[in-house]
Structure 1
């Protein structure tokens, strides 16, 4: 899961997640520990695999009159000797089994062959220089370059691969100054969400002494004079508790180049609202500081601004009284797009569940407020709500580029600033995802913009768009050792349990006919307003070449059909998400594509929760399950790092009604003794500080103690890795070779000849 942060100039939906009280918090009832032998988890027969013994504690919490056992609470101490010994023992069993899978080597080789292709990121312009990323194929991290012209000689700005040999230090933010002379870059180690910011001279590649630490879920933004920047940070966590401590009360600071972090000016904070996050950006004209305000992953946002002085000096360069609370309530999403003078343009879903673009004149608002302190802004619709969901909007070169989701596929429409539709882009692929359209809004300064497009079998391909003519020309197209013409993508619709119509993409070899035996991988997410549009993935290509069918449904809880679709998969209605996923599986079986023994499900983060909940509700429906970095204990997720922020989607066990809903599907609490579950590979990482690994540890231990049958239920624990962002290429290849090898063995199918 990711933190959702609206960013300056475009609407960005990103994605963090998950809650209850521990024994020592004073909010639960904790009995005295009893001998392990007196509190068995189950009377299940001896499992087929010799899983490590996991101590069973007598921990029981009483929540709203319900006794809730938590026999593996001790695993929440992820750095304890006992937990580490269990992790080591589990990995020995898991990797011992994986090494017996003959296909694993061939799969790893094929992954490496397909991954070894040159790829670029969408370029952007600062100070007359073009900046972009490039990976030559198997580099662990992409390298940042600049060039003085679009096709000029690239020069390295930053090579993360040189930072450590293992490639586990990743760039987690990159902001170039308006003059193109300096870059602020964020670094994250071993997949952690924590980032430290450094400053580098573009021309020389030399780092300045500036260093910012304990920043998370925030970007950075240069001040208009290019002599400093705004950033968000938390107070330093307790030593030894960096990966588990709850993250609250972030603050917005201004750092002037050459200063120590302790000298930085506090720009804005609100001690009365520890759940609020403040993300500061600077308007393109340099006249305003823009402050996005959000509460965790709640899609509703607020918006403040302040007029910037020409020079930001002193201990308090912006007085708190200068901050104007334009949108002071969490009643809808507001994401700043751009401003032209005092006219501010926003994406919003206020009174428009599928989104629209509005204009607010802040000068008029300030005049009205001077007369009446309770006065509210007046908004004008620029691009009204349509039947399709507005995913984002950018203002570039005097045009508004509005990106819509049409049944989870992207369509881009170009509007004037008056809202008039001027054209719809002709895309080279209809089932596709599109990113880009950055650049300055001033049409006198921006004549071009760039966008990238990808599909399930089309790698990320980049185009230059001429704003005056509306024509696109190819800039970079990757070449892979893969023939996309051998495969096809189609979209189908199926009916969920309550009659809701749900779309699903199917990708497979051309000419494949339903046979009931096709190995099928069903992957989904279903949460936090995040939409699963067509995506290019080397592992998915390998699955297709293994002879598999890839299925991706768009479940409720996502944003594919606007805020109503999202809300229908949250809190008391979260079960709708699992029902949609189960219905997708039943559709694939009923239509003859596959059958339960040949059907695998997968998901990560909130999608890992999806897998855990679904396999415990319908263990008969699947042959195998891959549960990645999932939220498995729905009663305690808020106790760790950013988990409290996910209450907006999940609800809280502190509320009696929401507790009942959470307890009913929480994967950890719904494993039943003596049940035969699908072959399961839980996978996580010991440095995951988004969804702490104890979720997966506890779920795996409970599953192993209660599962019966011959199928393996194992956990793969990566070391020196985190939630997934920035994972080096080498580690990704290793991980996917294990995952696909596990499915090949458990779904019991042969790889094609010559694979």
Structure 2
């Protein structure tokens, strides 16, 4: 399947005849054979790509420098906000030097509960590294029982994100009852009391039905309580206040949520009677219980940037949106990204977190009137995540910014300024002296005239964009998918790049959630080409304004962002010097047949629809590269680094394999370096991985960018 070439020269895969006819259009697919990951032909091809990659990577002068810097920046204890149970606080911590987070519990006496020091020394409940010293096993999710005696933990191995759901004792870690096999990031909702049963979800059609199941811990007996109506929906389940069973059904990530509520005080747990909380409207809604028995809903219904509403399920049988009461109105200039009901000294209250172009602001509001009470004084310009409330009204939230590793903030009732929790972290990354990083927002105009913001970070002390500015090596990152906003938390990789003298920019393109739901919908489905146009405009703007030259510019994106940067580079081969596409989508004619693509037709469209198909093919990077191989043989695209993970069950590693083959064919055999490199890993997937492997991947990717853009380091 490959031609032999001299060392150092790209090996061009031989095409294999495969042509589909879709809506009357022939669609060539010469590298379909690469979709079979374990065939002898694919394995030989991957071996050659690996040798090619190793030869090139050995020439990247900043490879070890960046790896050392990134390792030093992540060498700190990393905590998550604690979950309270009677007499205990559960959370995860990744100790400095450890490969993975572990689940720990702080035992708390009644008089010490909620104290700032976390109630003494934590005890490990579950450590994936103790179970699997190879680092291949990850802790994917966990949920303690209402009394804190048991914990449901989900683990997977090799990156496949489908593993086992088991129950263990919180005091000894001993297993209780049989394991649920082949579960993928299931929600777990415990029944109240000591019955030892919980609800969980099957998202992948196991047992023939996708939906919510009730499972008895002791013997594994199960009952289906909710069956999903569609094949492309995602179920979820929670038990609120020990009384209300909430089942959610997501129709396309970031597009629509149906919500169903049952009363466990009146309904048998195995036969709940559901009432519609929201069913049908094109809105994404999240529900959290308040200390007053009211349910609070963060929703995009009639509010593209989200608002908070309330409904009392205990006083009315009518729960639909027409019966909701607005509590916190939409802010047209900021997106309401998180909220948390809690008990304040003055009564029920809400913590509301809004984001403007990646920077969070938090405020406390009255839960009855919605009136703002006071702002929360955050440590800097960064990202707030995962707010949770303790029974006494203490709030815990994650905080990070570009120069500060994530910490947990603890805000006692009635206070405006939070402190850190735990108060005495260890490790070199916890120094109070953070490097000086400047943030600048610039704007560009996309092809249709829409103004698109770009955030630029710099730690070099150089001037910004002006007539006398100093252009420098720049990474331009974009995601632009699923309505997810770009938020500026901590990335050791980004900070290492900045400290080495580079600039880092983020294009807030349509398709993401940076400006609310409309911004998302304007760059999704048949409108996805707009996201590509936004990124092209952002790259042109950075060059025109003097932030960098084209030879100093590298595009960077992962997953849906990998699709975006590949689409931009194949549309405009002159756009930049290099591209990093990590675990990308690439073949948009067949994405529904690979990984979780069948779940993403609301985001990208479907090849079965002629209009959707036309849009998909207008930017599909794989087909653009194939087309250029025919129309303009020898065309040199920017240097492309693709990463692929053999255990990837989301985007599927067939995408980067096929894209690499197409780019090599488009460039032909001219030149002294490959047009595309593939960094391919086994025993990892799309999600979390061991720290050492994450550092290696990040250092390699950014050493490639440094080599191609002229970053010399410092």
TM-score, normalised to structure 1, is 0.85
Q: Which residue of 1 aligns with 2:270?
A: 318
Q: Is 1:223 matched with 2:191?
A: yes
Per-residue deviation, 1:728 = 0.5
Give the conservation status (yes or no) of the 8 Å contact 2:96–2:427.
no
Per-residue deviation, 1:59 = 0.6
Q: Which residue of 2 aligns with 1:740?
A: 702
Distance 2:7 2:381 in 1: 44
Q: Which residue of 2 aligns with 1:31?
A: none
Match of 2:223 among 240, 251, 265: 265
Structure 1 residue matching 2:351: 3-state secondary structure = strand
Change (3 A) 1:90 1:485: closer
1:721-743 Cα deviation digits (max 9, x unpaired):
101x2211010111122112212
Structure 1 residue matching 2:688: 3-state secondary structure = coil
Q: Which residue of 2 aligns with 1:474?
A: 420
Per-residue deviation, 1:421 = 2.4
- Aligned pairs for 1:512-527 (under 5 A) are 512-513=462-463, 515=469, 517-527=471-481
Q: Which residue of 2 aligns with 1:133?
A: 92
Q: Which residue of 2 aligns with 1:731?
A: 693
Distance 1:376 1:102 in 2: 59
Distance 2:614 2:267 in 1: 55
Structure 2 residue matching 1:437: 3-state secondary structure = strand
Per-residue deviation, 1:342 = 6.8
Q: Is 1:296 matched with 2:252?
A: yes
Give the conservation status (yes or no) of the 8 Å contact 2:539–2:575.
yes
- Aligned pairs for 1:71-82 (under 5 A) are 71-82=30-41
Q: Is 1:106 matched with 2:65?
A: yes
Structure 2 residue matching 1:505: 3-state secondary structure = strand
Change (3 A) 1:180 1:335: same
Change (3 A) 1:384 1:308: same
1:91-131 Cα deviation digits (max 9, x unpaired):
12112321233432232222222222222222231122122
Match of 1:722 among 667, 679, 685: 685
Q: Is 1:696 matched with 2:656?
A: yes
Per-residue deviation, 1:667 = 0.4
Q: Which residue of 1 aligns with 2:112?
A: none
- How many pairs align? 682
Give the conservation status (yes or no) of the 8 Å contact 1:298–1:648.
no
Cα RMSD after superposing both structures: 2.6
Change (3 A) 1:573 1:117: same
Distance 1:480 1:169 in 2: 26
Distance 1:275 1:616 in 2: 30
Distance 1:420 1:236 in 2: 42
Change (3 A) 1:447 1:642: same
Q: Which residue of 2 aligns with 1:685?
A: 645
Distance 2:206 2:107 in 1: 42
TM-score, normalised to structure 2, is 0.90
Per-residue deviation, 1:654 = 1.1
Structure 2 residue matching 1:292: 3-state secondary structure = strand
1:650-695 Cα deviation digits (max 9, x unpaired):
1111111111111010000001122111111100101101011111
Structure 1 residue matching 2:388: 3-state secondary structure = coil
Q: Greater relative contact order (Cα 8 A, min sep 6): structure 1 or 2?
A: 1
Change (3 A) 1:526 1:332: same
Give the conservation status (yes or no) of the 8 Å contact 1:48–1:710.
no
Per-residue deviation, 1:179 = 1.1
Q: Is 1:392 matched with 2:338?
A: yes
Per-residue deviation, 1:333 = 1.6
Distance 1:736 1:433 in 2: 21
**Larger deviation: 416-425 or 121-130?**
416-425
Match of 1:613 among 551, 567, 576: 567
Distance 1:685 1:419 in 2: 50
Give the conservation status (yes or no) of the 8 Å contact 1:249–1:274.
no
**Larger deviation: 637-646 or 98-107?**
98-107
Q: Which residue of 2 aligns with 1:407?
A: 357
1:224-259 Cα deviation digits (max 9, x unpaired):
125111111257779xxxxxxxxx951211111111
Q: Which residue of 2 aligns with 1:252?
A: 212
Structure 2 residue matching 1:105: 3-state secondary structure = helix
Change (3 A) 1:487 1:318: same
Change (3 A) 1:165 1:347: same
Match of 1:588 among 523, 542, 548: 542
Q: Which residue of 2 aligns with 1:142?
A: 101
Match of 1:209 among 163, 177, 192: 177
Runs of 5+ consecutive residues of structure 2 not aligned to the other structure: 109-117
Runs of 5+ consecutive residues of structure 1 not aligned to the other structure: 1-35, 41-45, 239-247, 370-374
Give the conservation status (yes or no) of the 8 Å contact 1:249–1:273.
no
Q: Which residue of 1 aligns with 2:114?
A: none
Structure 2 residue matching 1:620: 3-state secondary structure = coil
